[in-house]
Structure 1
Amino acid sequence: MVFLPQQGDYKMLYLLALLAAGQAAAPAPPGAASLQQRFDAASQAAARPGRCEEAIAGFEAIERSGAARRNALVAAAIDVRKGRCLVTVGRDAEGETAIKRGLPQLQARGASFADDVREANIMLGQAAVRRSDYDAAVAEYQRALDGSEGTQRILPLLLMAQTLMFDHDGRALRHAEEARTIVTTTPGLSKRDVARVQTIYARVLLNEGRDKEAYAVLRDSLAKQGGLGLKVSLDDIATRSDLAIAALRNKDVEAARRYLVYTGAGRMKDQPFSRAVDMEPPACNPAAGVKPEDVAIVEFTLDTDGHVSDVTPIFTTGGRASAIAFTEAVRDWSWKPEDAKAIPLIFRASTRIELRCLRAPEAPSIFTPSQEVMNTWFDSRGLGRPAWADMPEARALPLQRTAADEAGIAGLRGMMAVALSPLAERKEREAMSARALARAAEVGAPPAAQVLLSGYDMKNYDGAKYRAALRQTLADPRVAADPISAATLRLAIAAPRYKAKPPADALALLEPVIAAPFPANHPLKIAALLSKADVLAQARDYAGAQAAFQQTGLTAEQCSLFGLTPALTRAGGGSSDYPDAAFQFGFEGWVRAEFDVTADGRTATQRAVAAYPPFIFNDAAMGVVRGARFTSSYRPEGALACSGQQRAIVFSMP
């Protein structure tokens, strides 16, 4: 923003003198840049968008030269400037450590380093927001505010307002109003400067429920930006996107669609956003403040490697807990790099998604026990948790590829991670699966490794190929002799598949699982009994189906927690489902729906949990989901067969 001082403007004469003194102790080779010039170059790079990696490398080169060790102030200045860049590129922990190490020295120098100190506090605040510590962020922004005068106050005021606007205690509004007062009463600031501040002010009003006031302020901001034109900046998109929310809140649906049209939303060829490999909304938790009725609009930035690098909650009908839950969920989303790169830069830099929480998480996969066996085995060999354990898929994959080149058991863990990664290409997964199977045999891994790797690309297999691959693995005597491995494969082979009937030997596959030496409440045993009940019911043996179900010991309401997912038999959508208004405005988009499946294969309690563009296709998507059909399941009294299912419905123009 225009109000953020440029780092190249700092008065660093005293520091440069110290650097020059350090240079005298170690003369630069002929033709080489002096230490002062290198510091200048690194500082200038740090001040320019997109050049922080260059700045970090420059500062680290100075540190290696020994200048930082010879003078504490030099070291502190480099720590703070490099730390700000480390936070900018997402290396928050390193950046915060560096800033906090150098900040006391600069604070002690008073006005000479006031700009550095203020920006350091702002970056510490942004790092705190990214780890969802809003109280720490507010404390850092307050320190920046305390060290600011005049227009310098605008940025920390707006950051405070955005951090506090879900608390509904009046503080956010006070900060936003002060920022608006400064920008509207300071001579020399442009209409666009005023519009930037007013947009944040109106966003606070929206979250306070003052919809009419917010709508009026945003329309004034739009006018100051020149109205609705075809040339747009990120500022223009933000104002127009907020206007769409405000228009909907004021029941001006036609205007909301018009404002969205002029953001460019819903106009991406081939819908790459819809192909996320991981796009899980947060789970509902009313006790923690995340309620099923909450609606949120979240803005995020997507990097070309497919990971989400920045997330900002824009609006929620809930409070702070709701905003944080939605934000943290979006941070974990991942796309394949080729899909991320297909998204135009302006949308990767700033895209908004409408979100709701999930009422019920999907039941664990039947392969989960095998994965647990492998995790326990890796732990027993002293590996501990992998570095990628808590990372989104897109951030994890490079580390997994590096681990795959290690020797022994550590290499096996990396190979398996890549082979099972939804981000890796099919050829890579196939090759890595073969390598992992060979390594598993070398190091004596449990049969669970073969089970997990036997269908490295199962989602792309048709039913016959899927089952053939699993039967081949089950034929291995070592696998067949292992209860968990054999039970997992038998259940997977017997399960219904899209456009593939259950195998003729389904009951023969399930009986050994039921008879296996598992505890009565083991998930594989319960899944086998539920599957047996389904097969018998489809053969009209209702007494046998009831007996099998009773053996599970479950109530009708509990069974959906353990059952295998029914297979889709009819998609339920057609060209007539495309909304007329969306067609008229030229919108394309998608909706991720959550729904339950009833015992007769119909859907129930359909709801949109993620949508792009916001609010456009929700009703049409629910119509598609209502028309979908799944394989039937036996459930006493017609209870649910499966709860918390998710499907993406994509709307593309002819």
Structure 2
Amino acid sequence: MLFLLAMLAVGQGAAAKPPSTAATTMQQQFDAASEAAAMPGKCGEAIGMFEALERTGAARRSALVAAAVDVRKGRCLVTVGRVPEGEAAIRRGLPQLKARGAAFAGDVRDASITLGEAAYQRFDYDAAVRDYEVALSQSEGLARLMPLMLMSRALMFDHDGRALRYAEEARTIVRATPTASKHDIANVQTQYARVLLNEGRDKEAYAELRDSLAKQGGLDSKVSLDEVATRSDLAIAALRNKDVDSARRYLAYTGAGRMKDAPFSRAASMDPPACDPAAGLTPEDVAIVEFVLAEDGHVASAMPIFSTGSRATAIAFSQAVRDWSWRPDDAKAIPPFFRYGSRVELRCIRAPEGPSVVEPLVESIDAWFASRGLSEPAWRDMSDASALPLQRTAAAEGGVAGLRATLALARNPVIDPEEAATLRGQVIARAAAAGAPVAIRVVMELIDTRDWNAKKYREALRGLLTEPPVAADPLAAATVRLTIAAPRYKSRPPEDAAALLDAVVSAPLPDTHPIKTAALLQRANLLAAGNDLAGARAAFARTGLTAEQCALVDLSPAATRPGGSANDYPMEAVRMGFEGWVRAEFDITADGRTATQRAVAAYPPFIFNEAAVGIVRGSRWTSSFRPEGALACAGQQRSVTFRMP
């Protein structure tokens, strides 16, 4: 065993001594820790056992013993999510093991694969390839399959031939191995075909995948994750070869879209990436991304399967999915089999939606926290679900740090609504005790009333305006007035909308402030509705916006007709039992119709896209004034969910 080899190295040159009970016990400890590390779900236990060994005299005296423990413990640390610690431990111990040559080749290989996977998961594909190359250099025969497959996966969007060469070598090895099972061969062939798909060699990929499917036993009701991968890839290949019926059939046999109540549709946050040709993302690009959804609602990993663009394109789509979040209860409702490997179809959005109307208030609150000596919170760049544990811990603190965390919790969309209501009360109380700006109170009240009907919503906000601290704060008062006057679903603007908007325009804020800009746009709409086109043009001109731009805060036209009915459910999806959702992007014309509709995110891939686009095409929105009839708003988004009766 590795530990015994290390102990022998320590004793070289000394007189032989009979084995001691302590040494045997130490050997047994290392063996037990290594055995636990190799078992699913036992890494936490193994880490404790390795740490006990680190405290022994042998580990402190021998660099090789310490290195052996570091490497194996480091792999477990990565497995349990303590990635930086694990990587540091592996890199600390790896040079010692490499220096020992063939005796430690297996540990070097496995540790390098672990490092490569950690780099791959954070989308550093160059670093991943370097570590996979080390693993490959330590491998012979069948042991080469794993690093070859991983190299191929990391390079398959580079289109330089390397991914295909590695996949071909893996395919040659597994086909020439008499002991390889049909399923082993099929798994390697599936990766080979995936490279072909991304190279545009669709017919070859289709044929290879059909052979993989046959080796896996064909289309039957018993399915493993490997078989799901082959069938999902076959669906892509069939679609690329314009065999739409087969694509749907292969996808049906993955189980995708067959979960009751479509829990995937209820993501708390789910934004596709913004188009950026300079970064390799154009509106014509499409990708299929596979992701793993953790039980707490955060996306544990995201991996590009297919992309029409470059490596940068594939990574951008995958990074977007990595930032998605679900409420824990919704995530738990998804069977583990589907949480461990579901796929979505993605396109980039042409124009990201504007920030919420409360965003200027939030910026002022952040500035106040900074003035109190708080640095950026640790969760700032995390997904909502990943940020939740950190926010909960920080909310237990006192002072302004605890207030900031409680505020973040109350605004986190993955929080249960009942808990969010309790948190809003806590934020208001803590803000008052801390002498915090009234902006915090206003943000909480705006969130608290967001689900009310239009009449109750406006009544609550009017009550807020009567409070002296709110009325005396120019930004807070302007935000509340703008929100009261804004159009809402199936509700006309209030009778005093013009007066409210005029008060916002005359508020002591900079002329270019986004709240004023939004008010001027709404004012132009009201003037146009009253046939005062000259006044509408003048109000619009004061915004400084181009004819196609929305307000700089999110006050886009309100829906007046949803545009969908039960007849919009695709019959092919009904026959196959599919449920799912589509995120659609569209522009809104000045008369409230939609234009340039397109699907930007879909689950399952390519099943409901046309139906969702048709529903959005039939929706209607409040009319808006735009010079010369230009678009009212570009790049709006709407999610359409399809559920079986």
Tell me whether the two structures share a fold, i.e. TM-score over 0.5.
yes
Query: Tell me, what secondary structure is at the counterpart of 1:186?
Result: coil
Structure 2 residue aligned with 1:606: 597
Does 2:467 match 1:509?
Answer: no
For the Cα contact (< 8 Å) 1:560–1:643, is it kept in 2?
Answer: no
Q: Greater shift after overlay, 479-488 or 548-557?
A: 548-557
Does 2:43 match 1:52?
Answer: yes
Q: Greater shift after overlay, 503-512 or 324-333?
A: 503-512
For the Cα contact (< 8 Å) 2:327–2:385, is it kept in 1?
Answer: yes
Does 2:393 match 1:402?
Answer: yes
Question: Cα 1:562–1:425, aligned 2, differ >3 Å: closer, same or farther?
Answer: closer
Structure 1 residue aligned with 2:237: 246
Shift of 1:359: 0.7
For the Cα contact (< 8 Å) 2:287–2:307, is it kept in 1?
Answer: yes
TM-score between both structures, scaled by the size of structure 2: 0.95
Distance 1:187 1:11 in 2: 30
For the Cα contact (< 8 Å) 1:416–1:433, is it kept in 2?
Answer: yes
For the Cα contact (< 8 Å) 2:71–2:111, is it kept in 1?
Answer: yes
Structure 2 residue aligned with 1:476: 467
Structure 2 residue aligned with 1:7: none
1:193-212 alignment, distance < 5 Å: 193-212=184-203
Question: Cα 1:535–1:41, aligned 2, differ >3 Å: closer, same or farther?
Answer: farther
Distance 2:556 2:44 in 1: 46
Does 2:90 match 1:99?
Answer: yes
Shift of 1:345: 1.0
Structure 2 residue aligned with 1:108: 99
Alignment partner of 2:588 out of 578, 590, 597: 597
Cα deviation code 1:524-571 (max 9, x no counterpart): 111111111112222333332222112223231334555612111111
For the Cα contact (< 8 Å) 2:548–2:632, is it kept in 1?
Answer: no
Query: Tell me, what secondary structure is at the counterpart of 1:454?
Result: helix
Question: Cα 1:67–1:590, aligned 2, differ >3 Å: closer, same or farther?
Answer: farther
AA partner of residue 355 (structure 1) = L
1:296-307 alignment, distance < 5 Å: 296-307=287-298
AA partner of residue 429 (structure 2) = A
Structure 2 residue aligned with 1:334: 325
For the Cα contact (< 8 Å) 2:155–2:162, is it kept in 1?
Answer: yes
For the Cα contact (< 8 Å) 1:429–1:456, is it kept in 2?
Answer: no
Alignment partner of 1:174 out of 150, 153, 165: 165
For the Cα contact (< 8 Å) 2:549–2:633, is it kept in 1?
Answer: no
Structure 2 residue aligned with 1:519: 510
Distance 1:346 1:90 in 2: 20
Does 2:521 match 1:530?
Answer: yes
Query: Tell me, what secondary structure is at the counterpart of 2:269?
Result: coil
Alignment partner of 1:155 out of 143, 146, 150: 146
Shift of 1:39: 3.0
AA partner of residue 348 (structure 1) = R
Query: Tell me, what secondary structure is at the counterpart of 2:400?
Result: helix
Shift of 1:123: 1.3
Alignment partner of 1:88 out of 61, 79, 88: 79
Distance 1:446 1:62 in 2: 54
Structure 1: runs of 5+ lacking an equivalent: 1-9
Structure 2 residue aligned with 1:263: 254
Question: Cα 1:474–1:72, aligned 2, differ >3 Å: closer, same or farther?
Answer: farther
Shift of 1:515: 0.9
For the Cα contact (< 8 Å) 2:514–2:551, is it kept in 1?
Answer: no
AA partner of residue 558 (structure 1) = Q
Alignment partner of 1:138 out of 126, 129, 133: 129
For the Cα contact (< 8 Å) 1:19–1:35, is it kept in 2?
Answer: no
For the Cα contact (< 8 Å) 2:550–2:556, is it kept in 1?
Answer: no
Distance 1:471 1:218 in 2: 63
Question: Cα 1:277–1:105, aligned 2, differ >3 Å: closer, same or farther?
Answer: same
Structure 2 residue aligned with 1:5: none
Distance 1:469 1:184 in 2: 71
1:279-318 alignment, distance < 5 Å: 279-318=270-309
1:542-553 alignment, distance < 5 Å: 542-553=533-544
Distance 1:466 1:18 in 2: 76
Structure 2 residue aligned with 1:649: 640
Distance 1:26 1:71 in 2: 19
Shift of 1:216: 0.7
For the Cα contact (< 8 Å) 2:518–2:551, is it kept in 1?
Answer: no
Question: Cα 1:40–1:455, aligned 2, differ >3 Å: closer, same or farther?
Answer: farther
Question: Cα 1:305–1:362, aligned 2, differ >3 Å: closer, same or farther?
Answer: same
Query: Tell me, what secondary structure is at the counterpart of 2:581?
Result: strand
Structure 1 residue aligned with 2:421: 430
Question: Cα 1:26–1:213, aligned 2, differ >3 Å: closer, same or farther?
Answer: same
1:560-639 alignment, distance < 5 Å: 560-561=551-552, 564-639=555-630
Structure 2: runs of 5+ lacking an equivalent: none
Aligned residues: 639
For the Cα contact (< 8 Å) 1:18–1:74, is it kept in 2?
Answer: no
AA partner of residue 98 (structure 2) = Q
Cα deviation code 1:606-645 (max 9, x no counterpart): 1101111111110011000001111111111122222221
For the Cα contact (< 8 Å) 1:295–1:354, is it kept in 2?
Answer: yes
TM-score between both structures, scaled by the size of structure 1: 0.94
Question: Cα 1:342–1:527, aligned 2, differ >3 Å: closer, same or farther?
Answer: same
For the Cα contact (< 8 Å) 1:161–1:204, is it kept in 2?
Answer: yes
Shift of 1:208: 0.5
1:425-504 alignment, distance < 5 Å: 425-504=416-495
Distance 1:308 1:37 in 2: 38
Structure 1 residue aligned with 2:382: 391
Distance 1:640 1:439 in 2: 44
Cα deviation code 1:35-70 (max 9, x no counterpart): 444433332222123333333333334445676434
Alignment partner of 2:361 out of 363, 370, 377: 370
Distance 1:467 1:92 in 2: 49
Structure 1 residue aligned with 2:224: 233
Distance 2:60 2:629 in 1: 74
Report sequence identity in percent: 66
Q: Greater shift after overlay, 116-125 or 544-553?
A: 544-553
Distance 1:570 1:609 in 2: 22
Distance 2:225 2:82 in 1: 24
Query: Tell me, what secondary structure is at the counterpart of 1:480?
Result: helix
